[in-house]
Structure 1
Amino acid sequence: MQTDTQNPTPDQTFTALPLNAALQRALEVLGYTRMTPIQAQSLPPMLDGRDVIGEAPTGSGKTAAYALGLLSRIDPAQARTQALVLCPTRELADQVAREIRALARFIPNIKLTVLSGGIVKRPQLASLEHEPHIVVGMAGRVLEHLDSGALKLDALKVLVLDEADRMLGADFAAECRSIVEHAPRERQTLFFSATFADAVRGLSRQLQRKPVEIKVESDGRQIRQLFFEVSPRRRSDALAHLLSTYRPASALVFCFTRNDAKDLEAELAQRGYAVLGLHGHIDQRERDEVLVRFANGSCRVLVATDVAARGLDIKDLAAVLSYELPEDPDQHVHRIGRTGRAGKTGLALNLYTADEAERVRAIEARLNIEATIESLPGTLSPDRPLQPEVVTLCVDAGRRDKLRPGDLLGALTGDIGLVKEAVGKISSFDTRTYFAIDRKHAARVLQRLREVKIKGRKYRVREIG
Structure 2
Amino acid sequence: MTRQSFSTLNIPTALLTNLTDLGYTEMTEIQAEALPAVLAGKDVIAKAKTGSGKTATFGLGILAKLDVKYFRVQSLVLCPTRELADQVAAELRKLARNIHNIKILTLCGGVPLGPQIGSLEHGAHIIVGTPGRIIDHLDKGRLKLDDLTTLVLDEADRMLEMGFQADLDTIMSKAPSQRQTLLFSATYPAAIAKLSQRLLKDPVEVTIAHQHDNSIIDQQFFQVNDQRSRLTALYNLLLHYQGQSSIVFCNTKRETQDVADALHQYGFSVLALHGDMEQKDRDQTLVQFANGSACVLVATDVAARGLDISSVDAIFNYQLAHDADTHIHRIGRTGRAGETGMALSLFTASDAGKLPPIEDGLGITIVASELPALNNQLQPAKPVMVTLQLDAGKKHKIRAGDIVGALTASKQLTNDDLGKIQLHDIWSFVAVKRSAVKLALQLIQQGKIKAKSVRARML
The equivalent position to 2:146 in structure 1, one of 143, 150, 154, is 154
> Letter of the aligned partner of 1:14 in structure 2?
F
Give 3-state SS (helix, strand or coil) of 1:453's partner: coil
Superimposed CA distance per residue, residues 63-118 of structure 1 (whole angstroms, 9 cap, x where no aligned partner) = 12211121112110110101100011111111111111111111011101111011
Q: Which residue of 2 aligns with 1:223?
A: 217
Give 3-state SS (helix, strand or coil) of 2:272's partner: strand
Q: Which residue of 1 aligns with 2:263?
A: 268
Distance in 2 separating the partners of 1:343 and 1:184: 44
Give 3-state SS (helix, strand or coil) of 2:72's partner: coil
In the TM superposition, residue 180 of structure 1 has moved relative to its aligned partner by: 0.8
> Letter of the aligned partner of 2:315 in structure 1?
V
> Letter of the aligned partner of 2:128 in structure 1?
V
Q: Which residue of 1 aligns with 2:75?
A: 83
Q: Which residue of 1 aligns with 2:199?
A: 207
Cα distance change on mapping 1:417 and 1:67 into 2, 3 Å: farther
The equivalent position to 1:389 in structure 2, one of 378, 384, 388, is 384
Task: Indicate conservation of the 8 Å contact 1:59/1:341, yes or no.
Answer: no
Cα distance change on mapping 1:309 and 1:170 into 2, 3 Å: closer
Q: Which residue of 1 aligns with 2:116?
A: 124
Task: Indicate conservation of the 8 Å contact 2:212/2:328, yes or no.
Answer: no
Q: Which residue of 2 aligns with 1:309?
A: 304
Distance in 2 separating the partners of 1:211 and 1:366: 27
Q: Where do 1:396-435 residues align within 5 Å?
A: 396-435=391-430
Cα distance change on mapping 1:36 and 1:175 into 2, 3 Å: same
Q: Where do 1:10-159 residues align within 5 Å?
A: 11-159=3-151
Distance in 2 separating the partners of 1:223 and 1:429: 35
Task: Indicate conservation of the 8 Å contact 2:47/2:188, yes or no.
Answer: yes
Give 3-state SS (helix, strand or coil) of 1:348's partner: strand
Superimposed CA distance per residue, residues 333-353 of structure 1 (whole angstroms, 9 cap, x where no aligned partner) = 332233333444332211101
Give 3-state SS (helix, strand or coil) of 2:25's partner: coil
Distance in 1 separating the partners of 2:45 and 2:20: 27
Percent identity between the two aligned chains: 49
In the TM superposition, residue 123 of structure 1 has moved relative to its aligned partner by: 0.9
Q: Which residue of 2 aligns with 1:5?
A: none
Distance in 1 separating the partners of 2:380 and 2:336: 25
Matched, 1:175 2:167: yes
TM superposition score normalised by structure 2: 0.95
Distance in 2 separating the partners of 1:324 and 1:359: 11
Task: Indicate conservation of the 8 Å contact 1:53/1:192, yes or no.
Answer: yes
Task: Indicate conservation of the 8 Å contact 1:299/1:388, yes or no.
Answer: yes
Distance in 1 separating the partners of 2:323 and 2:17: 42
Q: Which runs of 4+ in 1 moved over 6 A?
A: none
In the TM superposition, residue 203 of structure 1 has moved relative to its aligned partner by: 2.0
Give 3-state SS (helix, strand or coil) of 2:206's partner: strand
In the TM superposition, residue 156 of structure 1 has moved relative to its aligned partner by: 0.7
Distance in 1 separating the partners of 2:187 and 2:105: 28
In the TM superposition, residue 169 of structure 1 has moved relative to its aligned partner by: 4.4
Task: Indicate conservation of the 8 Å contact 1:293/1:392, yes or no.
Answer: yes
> What are the ranges of 5 or more consecutive residues in structure 2 without an aligned counterpart?
none
Task: Indicate conservation of the 8 Å contact 2:80/2:162, yes or no.
Answer: no
In the TM superposition, residue 151 of structure 1 has moved relative to its aligned partner by: 0.6
Superimposed CA distance per residue, residues 258-317 of structure 1 (whole angstroms, 9 cap, x where no aligned partner) = 221222112111211110111234211111111100000010001112232233232222
TM superposition score normalised by structure 1: 0.94
Give 3-state SS (helix, strand or coil) of 1:374's partner: coil
Give 3-state SS (helix, strand or coil) of 2:201's partner: coil
Task: Indicate conservation of the 8 Å contact 1:273/1:301, yes or no.
Answer: yes
Task: Indicate conservation of the 8 Å contact 2:407/2:443, yes or no.
Answer: no
Q: Where do 1:343-354 residues align within 5 Å?
A: 343-354=338-349
Distance in 2 separating the partners of 1:246 and 1:188: 48
Give 3-state SS (helix, strand or coil) of 1:253's partner: strand
In the TM superposition, residue 455 of structure 1 has moved relative to its aligned partner by: 0.9
Q: Which residue of 2 aligns with 1:359?
A: 354
In the TM superposition, residue 416 of structure 1 has moved relative to its aligned partner by: 4.6
Superimposed CA distance per residue, residues 123-148 of structure 1 (whole angstroms, 9 cap, x where no aligned partner) = 11111112210000000110111121
Matched, 1:331 2:326: yes
> Letter of the aligned partner of 1:227 in structure 2?
F
Distance in 2 separating the partners of 1:208 and 1:303: 37
Distance in 2 separating the partners of 1:68 and 1:320: 33
Distance in 2 separating the partners of 1:381 and 1:306: 30
Matched, 1:369 2:335: no
Give 3-state SS (helix, strand or coil) of 1:25's partner: helix
Cα distance change on mapping 1:40 and 1:343 into 2, 3 Å: farther
Cα distance change on mapping 1:390 and 1:90 into 2, 3 Å: same
Superimposed CA distance per residue, residues 24-82 of structure 1 (whole angstroms, 9 cap, x where no aligned partner) = 22222222222211122111111111111111222221112211121112110110101
Distance in 2 separating the partners of 1:213 and 1:139: 24
Distance in 1 separating the partners of 2:188 and 2:374: 39
Cα distance change on mapping 1:301 and 1:172 into 2, 3 Å: same
Worse-matched range after superposition: 122-131 or 221-230: 221-230
Distance in 2 separating the partners of 1:210 and 1:369: 37
Distance in 1 separating the partners of 2:53 and 2:200: 22
Distance in 2 separating the partners of 1:110 and 1:367: 44
Distance in 2 separating the partners of 1:269 and 1:352: 23
In the TM superposition, residue 417 of structure 1 has moved relative to its aligned partner by: 4.3
